[in-house]
Amino acid sequence: MVITAVICIIYSWFYYKKFVLLKITINFYINKIMEKRILGTQGLEVSALGLGCMGLSFAYGTAVDKQHGIKIIREAYEQGINFFDTAEAYGIANEELVGEAVSPFRKDVVIATKFGFKGGQAFNGQDSRPENIRAVAEESLRRLKTDVIDLFYQHRVDQNIPIEDVAGTVKDLIQEGKVKYFGMSEAGAETIRKANAVLPVSALQSEYSIWWREPELEVLPVLEELGIGLVPFSPLGRGFLTGAITQNTKFESTDFRNSLPRFSEENRSANQKLVDLLSAIASQKQATPAQIALGWLLAQKPWIAPIPGTTKSNRLTENIGGASINLSAEDVKKIDDAFAQTTIQGDRYPAQIQQNVGK
């Protein structure tokens, strides 16, 4: 009986090892299959889609359980995503969550985080003093459990600190081996040029989607000219373009969308026609509205890598499917022509937040 038990244990161990090896092999090929994109001129390579981790613990109501957050991040990696986005301003727990979740495969992923607010709080105003940039870098390294930050963004432009000083400080951190690449967020065209003259900017993170097209006016041409990648946040319109949000949707009291004019009940109703458009195209492509919205973004430029976020496994898989949507030039034109006939209702941000964008 003892011998039988030992044999069973040996067989169990053998098949477990085979299962682990098979899973590692599958994950390896999945990561090979997911398209990779180059951001900037310095060689930063990321998966075509990243994962915006903010919503796991910040801005969209109650934070998810830590173990659930880790599960979502690891599922993203297993399905081909190697680009994970966080920030000091999303709370200490967010960086710690990302750091713990990616620790088993840290060398295979790109972690992006951000500096630039007083005390790490967005509503306290900007703080891109060199000493604060350095302090945030040290804290982020500790919370992320890593020895280098792959992509370090200035979260918002600080008009009290010359952008040349900001870029110079990050350049020093790169030379010290604490940061690999420099990024900016929601910056205007001229500021991007000034920063890039001191230190090549690998990526700009800004909102860009079918229903927020402002970057096309000035920012995208400058990015293309200078060879800078674009990382669109809220590529699904903070969830609206998925079709899951209607005029009757009720958000938690702590949900950031309650403060956004575009998400008023009246404006959600008026903007539903855009979701209806995406749904019609999705049905033709055997896809979902979210996948069409992401496919549209990926079809714009080869140096664009959106970072949709989610707290749900099924939505994660759905979003990743968007990377496989191949929209023809005719498809894109059809979407653009329909958009041109649509007037989106509601400002993107309230005035006090919008004033910090595009500087």
Query: What would the DSSP string read from start to end of 63-128?
Result: PPPHHHHHHHHHHHHHTT--EEE--GGG-HHHHHHHHHHHGGGGGGSEEEEEE-BGGG-GGG-B--
Which of 62-71, 292-301, 328-337, 348-357 shows the lowest mean pLDDT across its residues? 348-357
Q: How confident is the model at residue 29 (pLDDT cuts 50, 70, 90)?
A: very low
Do residues 8 and 107 both lie within one domain?
Answer: no
Q: How confident is the model at residue 156 (pLDDT cuts 50, 70, 90)?
A: very high
Share of the chain above pLDDT 70, in %: 90
Do residues 88 and 22 both lie within one domain?
Answer: no
Helix axes 313-321, 289-300, angle to 10 degrees: 40
Q: Could you tell me if 291 and 318 are in contact, meaning their C-beta atoms sit under 8 angstroms apart?
A: yes
Q: How confident is the model at residue 9 (pLDDT cuts 50, 70, 90)?
A: low
Q: What is the pLDDT of residues 117-148, one digit of tens each?
A: 999 888 899 999 999 999 999 999 999 999 99
Do residues 21 and 154 both lie within one domain?
Answer: no
Q: Which amino acid is at 239?
A: G
How far, in Å, CA of 185 to CA of 208, rounded? 12
Length of the chain (residues): 359
Do residues 287 and 349 both lie within one domain?
Answer: yes
Per-residue pLDDT, averaged over 257-261, amounts to 92
**Hey, which residues are catalytic here?**
90
Q: Tell me, yes or no, whether 296 lies in a domain.
A: yes
Q: Which domain holds residue 14?
A: 1-33
Strand 179-185 vs strand 201-207: parallel, antiparallel, or unpaired? parallel
Task: Give the three-state DSSP class for 345.
Answer: coil
Per-residue pLDDT, averaged over 112-117, amounts to 98
Do residues 54 and 11 both lie within one domain?
Answer: no
Which of 26-30, 102-106, 206-210, 288-292 shows the lowest mean pLDDT across its residues? 26-30
Q: Tell me, yes or no, whether 227 lies in a domain.
A: yes
pLDDT at 16: 45
Q: Tell me, yes or no, whether 359 lies in a domain.
A: no
Residue 306 has pLDDT above 90, yes or no: yes
Q: Could you tell me if 117 and 353 are in contact, meaning their C-beta atoms sit under 8 angstroms apart?
A: no
Residue 7 has pLDDT above 50, yes or no: yes
Q: What is the pLDDT of residues 310-338, one digit of tens each?
A: 999 999 999 999 999 989 999 999 889 98
Do residues 240 and 272 both lie within one domain?
Answer: yes
Do residues 28 and 98 both lie within one domain?
Answer: no
How many domains, the chain? 2
Q: Tell me, yes or no, whether 82 lies in a domain.
A: yes
Do residues 212 and 83 both lie within one domain?
Answer: yes
Q: Tell me, yes or no, whether 118 lies in a domain.
A: yes
Per-residue pLDDT, averaged over 18-27, amounts to 41
Do residues 273 and 320 both lie within one domain?
Answer: yes
Do residues 45 and 193 both lie within one domain?
Answer: yes
Do residues 12 and 39 both lie within one domain?
Answer: no
Do residues 242 and 121 both lie within one domain?
Answer: yes
Residue 243 has pLDDT above 50, yes or no: yes
Please provide the average confidence, as pLDDT, over all residues in the chain. 90
Per-residue pLDDT, averaged over 259-268, amounts to 93
Q: Tell me, yes or no, whether 278 lies in a domain.
A: yes
Q: What is the pLDDT of residues 166-208, one digit of tens each?
A: 999 999 999 999 999 999 999 999 999 999 999 999 999 999 9
Q: How confident is the model at residue 341 (pLDDT cuts 50, 70, 90)?
A: confident
Residue 10 has pLDDT above 60, yes or no: no
Residue 11 has pLDDT above 90, yes or no: no
Q: What is the pLDDT of residues 42-54, one digit of tens each?
A: 999 999 999 999 9
Name 209's Cβ contacts closer than 8 Å, sequence gap at least 6: 232, 234, 235, 236, 237, 241, 293, 297
